[in-house]
Amino acid sequence: MRVYDLKTAYGLSDHVLDIAFDEVALSVLLEVLDNHRTQVVWLTDDTRQNAKGIQAITNPDGLMRDMETVGFLDTRSDEKCELPEALEKHIHEYGISVINVARAGWIDLLSQAGSKKWKVNVLGLGDVGGTLLTGLRLLGHDVVEQIGIFDLDPKRKRRWMLELSQILDPNVAAYPKIVELEMEALFDCDMFVFCASRSVPEVGSKIKDVRMVQYESNAKIIEPYAKMARNCGFEGVFAVVSDPVDQLCYKVYRSSNEDDAGIFDGLGLRPEQVRGYGLGVMFARASYYADQYGVFFEKGRAFGPHGKELIVANDPQDYDPTVSRQLTKLTVEANLEVREAGYKPFIAPALSSGALSLLNTMRGTWNDSTVMLDGVYIGCRNRLTSEGVEVERHEMSDLLVKKLEDVVEVLKAYV
């Protein structure tokens, strides 16, 4: 393995270190680890188009795995990584940043992210966008500094600025400030949230999977914003809330990395910058139905897209296919129950998948959202840390792993 002398070549501070199986590099590293908390960097050189720029690892054995595949979620085939005890302890306690030097701009990933309040810009102030904003305003005062709002309808934008700014609890010291945005300021933020949508079927529609009806039109809407993020060198999180989030995430990633001739050049958003927010409500719905039918769901998880390819697992390790299949069916069809009552199902998605999951992302806590694996975007539990995105890993049953692999193949139809 090549050892990169980052501090000499780039003038980096001593809190950022490159490591490799090299006695000199490791001896320097262990001295630093004895003294203070530091960001440890493991360098890779992955030239695959969809390889991430940065990822967090909290188990050293994961360093020996291909982190880009859906199989990485399963810990059973991890190989023992022999490292000095101090380094193993550091990885378990703080994690390690795996940075890909094949990604353009990788050197910019080497600065340690500190605690901060986020600037969040939201595009699209319809039913979902407005409800999501209400959640951010009420619950985000600890982590959100400012919420910028934009809609093509100036009256709608003005209305939400006034309404949100007048939500106030006198016992809360500081709510996020609400500001109206112009188009050119959309990516002046840490997180851009896309909530615009077309072609939502009316209540009473016989369409079973509403999300896929929306893909074609929403893909056309979102593409110009992906190009805009590319052109302004956006370094924040591009959050997709509009349906179908998994497929639209790939559309954003691909569009942002293509030049004017449509050729992939890798100069746009990194895979981990694009995140989809649709799985949170599916986990919430699965939990609801598990409670209704007396199913033990303490270890339950949801994976995959939040449409018909969703996978609900009663337990990733002790997987019961019959119970899980029943929970999956109830969860997927939950929106139809709301429609049968005469309403569009947007409140729970806007809050569970939207506001709550976005806030957990900003706080660095676990949430159910979409990340890239196997060259597609697929939902799983993960968190955004100062070391990068960390995906939750389990000992998984063979059947569950096979289901995940099958879903990846379905999603590849959109790649």
CA distances from 183 to 144, 252, 361 (A): 21, 18, 25
Burial 370-388 (b: 16+ CB within 10 A, else e): bbbbbbbbbbbbbbbbebb
Q: Residue 3 has what pLDDT?
A: 36
Per-residue pLDDT of the chain (415 residues; tens, 9 = 90+): 333 444 444 444 343 344 444 555 556 566 656 555 667 788 888 889 999 999 999 998 888 889 999 999 999 989 888 777 877 888 898 888 888 888 988 888 876 555 689 999 999 999 999 999 999 999 999 999 999 999 999 999 999 999 999 999 999 989 999 999 999 999 999 999 999 998 555 655 555 555 567 888 899 999 999 999 999 999 999 999 999 999 999 999 999 999 999 999 999 999 999 999 999 999 999 999 999 999 999 999 999 998 889 999 999 999 999 999 999 999 999 999 999 999 999 999 999 999 999 999 999 999 999 999 999 999 999 999 988 999 999 999 999 999 999 999 999 988 7
353 vs 357: CA distance, rounded Å: 5
Q: Residue 5: its pLDDT value, please?
A: 42
Give CA separation, 357 vs 117, 150, 286, in Å: 16, 21, 16
pLDDT for 277:
98
Q: What is the pLDDT of residue 114?
A: 56
pLDDT of residue 27: 60
For 288-332, the DSSP string reads HHHHHTT---TT-EEES-SSTT-EEES-SSS--HHHHHHHHHHHH
> What's the pLDDT at 201?
59
Of 238, 243, 159, the C-alpha closest to 197 is 243
